[in-house]
Amino acid sequence: MRTAEIRRRFLDFFAERGHTVVPSAPLPTPDPTLLFVNAGMVPFKPYLTGETAAPWPRATSVQKCVRTLDIEEVGRTTRHGSFFQMNGNFSFGDYFKEEAIAFAWELSTSPTPDGGYGLDPDRIWVTVHHGDDESRALWRRVAGLPDERIVARGDEDNFWSMGVPGPCGPCSELYYDRGPALGRAGGPAVDEDRYMEFWNLVFMQYERGEGPGKSGYPILGELPHRNIDTGMGVERMATLLQGVDNLYETDETRPVLDRAAELAGVRYGADAEADVRLRVVADHVRTALMLLADGVSPGNEGRGYVLRRLLRRAVRAMRRLGHQDPALPELLAVARDRMAPGYPEVADAYDRIADRAAGEEDAFRATLRQGTTVLDTAVAEVTSHGGRRLPGAQAFLLHDTYGFPIDLTLEMAAEQGVEVDREGFTALMREQRERARADARARKSGGTDTAVLRGVLGEHGPTDWRAWSALTTRSRVLALVTASGPAPAAGEGQIVTAVLDRTPFYAESGGQESDAGHLTGASVEAEVLDVQRPLPGLVVHQVRVTAGELAVGDEVTAAVDPEWRLGARQAHSGTHVLHAALRQVLGPTALQSGSYNRPGHLRLDFPWRGALSPSAQSEIEEAANQALRRDLPVGVRWMTLPEAKELGALALFGETYGEKVRVVEIGGAWSRELCGGTHVEHASQIGVVALTSQSSVGAGMRRLEAAVGIEGFGYLARERDLVARIAEQVQAPRAELPDRVAGLLERLKSADRVNQRLRQAALRARAAELAGRAQDADGVLVVTATADGGPDDTRTLATAVRDLLPADRPGVVVIGTAAGGRTSLVAAVNGAADASGLHAARLVKRLLNGKGGGTARLAQGGGLPAGDLRRVLESVPATLHGH
């Protein structure tokens, strides 16, 4: 049974039993604690925790998931995959254990002609929590399972919670016996390779308190509404139903693996290490395809870093298999063909996906060339001092600055007999990730503990949010929270997070910066600094009290700065206009993949190979301003997500949408996007869209920035004044400026070429003069001198003198400079000196008390006071013979 059929049967089965079919959420998640959806229940978490009322009593989904915590194990074991799909059925206070167990048993064991999966009932084992006698009894009664195939296990295996206070409960897992060829008899407690888990039923019935780990925390009591959360691994079920050994051999993954083997000229199953690499390629290519389809772009942090790492690991694995040519275009096309039946978006967006992946592969191939040089230099530095261990900081520099993967550093260092301080590298990586995660969490929550905010939401309900319709509201302060916890009041000068019962303030989202404004009451004034939505339905305000005291229960007027809001509306509508103009000029693949807008300014990222030409930029800018000139109407409509897609509305990548979506139209179909931002009512109210810059923000990704509104007019006025000043300075009419400036530049280049020739001639003459007065110091020709140039000129002079010395006699050249009050030295030795044991790097270190470095033939250093330069140069002969 193909994987697409496994997904279809699951949804059909539960739809027939009253479950609402919910589409998979995008892989990027708004949850500040996660980068990606990593379990089927993540999109339903607000309903399961009670933060938000569920819109349906029961639901079912096939959710895309990505987990990368154990990425190093991918391919090395056949149980780990970074992308997987989770079939799930959910009950929100509706049915409970008996129905969940009955549904799972019926679908698993019903014959395939009847819509089931046709698993042999006699080969199914289940586990239950050791304290859950109710589930054990239900498995006996509902499924007829004998006691010996119902295994009791402890909290670590069969009790679920999210790791924080909240819902929890026992779970029951279904396993399938794959036969004695795959392991020992005795059930899942003995061998989980032979007995493969394929479905987990979680019975949320308790509330847990504070406590570490998976056990040892107190159970506070029963939940008011009991929930069901189940997860069936799609790839696990495909492994069982397709009769293959592991998830890499199922119908959606094996074709990618086979194509990789074909490109590399190897055979899967012939070599264990090659098999690991092939599995890495198959897994990472499929995961990258799905991330790219959901709008993630390769980058240096967060989600982009994960995607970049996956792509680069795949490319590196292909190179280690012997395939040196670009591989991703071939492999992604195979993955697309296998995943498109279940996810048509991967075919619809494939041109964009392929272009971005190809750009990343090209960039990484260049990185490999550059990083290899840096690594070789670092290894030479270590070994020149007799060391055999590359510092973790050096490995981290290679990774962080040059994008050099640690596994590649480890391998190439080992080839040169050097190990890597892996612990030091890991510690630096951990520090970097923790900083990034802490920054993200603090930004989302306003620096406030979300557990406290969750309590506020539970007590008072969601915020009455009126940003689309109002600039002011009469509001009541529900809570004040500081970094140390809830506070009854905040005095003048304090910064505090304020929760209001209603607000007109726009919370930062969709690329739009939050509103600015004030809270005023009978005895208080406060400035609103930031507005965030840390939990679904809850808006929080970071405020600075500027006068009086702000207290819980105060009645205040919440007022948005009208000028700020006008500028924000102009910028957000301007982003939509620029996006539509971009697609009009460049074509439909120029899809927005990120944006940011604040009053007067916007930026828009989109996939594109190479810089836009000046004519393309002008055409885009003109198309945008033509829309403003035509005063296209701006309208908002609410509809279901399928209706919006049918209408052709563009969805922002990484956003999560509810049952109803908000569609913003500018000129009808000319610009139609799903958007929750604030907008003008007519395009002419934007004023002007003036492109200010374009830049690269990664392989295959461009960024356009623009000024809009009054700031746009100000930008154009400054450009006009600049042109006028240049025209006056070069004494040319504006129309002749390009030719006049080009002529001046050519004259400067010509003069520079003449100066360069003169400098080279002077350097050659100086080098000949210095070589001619080389002194013999016990058989070594020694040249010492001072120079006035910079480091490049000094190195050039030293090597030129060295090359003029007789090749059959050892020769050493030391040139010194004194700049900024410090001494700088360059030492060069010829081949005969090198062969006799003289070493430029060691010589520099002796002359400068250990400060300096380089190679055996050329080195440099500095740091001593400038007054020591003559003494240092005079000591060269004696230092040489102390080598």
690 residue type, one letter: A
Beta-sheet pairing, 195-208 with 166-177: antiparallel
Distance CA 284, CA 137 (A): 43
**Structure-token pair, residue 380:** 């030479």
Residues with Cβ within 8 Å of residue 195, at least 6 apart in sequence: 125, 175, 176, 177, 178, 183, 187, 188
Cβ atoms of 67 and 109 within 8 Å: the answer is no
Cα 558 from chain centroid (whole Å): 36
433 residue type, one letter: R
**Structure-token pair, residue 389:** 């261990």
CA-based nearest residue to 407, from 389, 397, 422: 422
Q: Report residue 325: phi and psi, to 5°.
A: -85, 165
Beta-sheet pairing, 419-420 with 389-390: parallel
Distance CA 121, CA 105 (A): 9
Beta-sheet pairing, 464-465 with 502-503: parallel
CA distances from residue 564 to 77, 479, 513, 519, 756 in whole angstroms, order as listed = 55, 26, 10, 15, 54
Classified as helix, coil or strand, 502 is strand
Classified as helix, coil or strand, 196 is strand
For the four alpha carbons of 761, 765, 766 and 768, in that order, the dihedral sign comes to positive
Confirm whether residue 130 is marked as ligand binding.
Answer: no
CA distances from residue 290 to 258, 293, 346 in whole angstroms, order as listed = 19, 5, 7
815: number of Cβ within 10 Å:
26
Distance CA 189, CA 598 (A): 57
Classified as helix, coil or strand, 723 is helix
**Structure-token pair, residue 870:** 């003559």
Could you say which DSSP state residue 529 is in? E
Distance CA 46, CA 231 (A): 17
Cβ atoms of 504 and 495 within 8 Å: the answer is no
Confirm whether residue 576 is marked as ligand binding.
Answer: yes
Q: Report residue 572: phi and psi, to 5°.
A: -70, -45
Distance CA 316, CA 318 (A): 5
Q: Report residue 633: phi and psi, to 5°.
A: -70, 150
Cα 362 from chain centroid (whole Å): 19
CA distances from residue 614 to 618, 619, 714, 744 in whole angstroms, order as listed = 6, 9, 21, 22
Confirm whether residue 572 is marked as ligand binding.
Answer: yes
Confirm whether residue 679 is marked as ligand binding.
Answer: yes
> Which residues are part of a known binding site for Zn(2+)?
572, 576, 675, 679
> Which residues are part of a known binding site?
572, 576, 675, 679
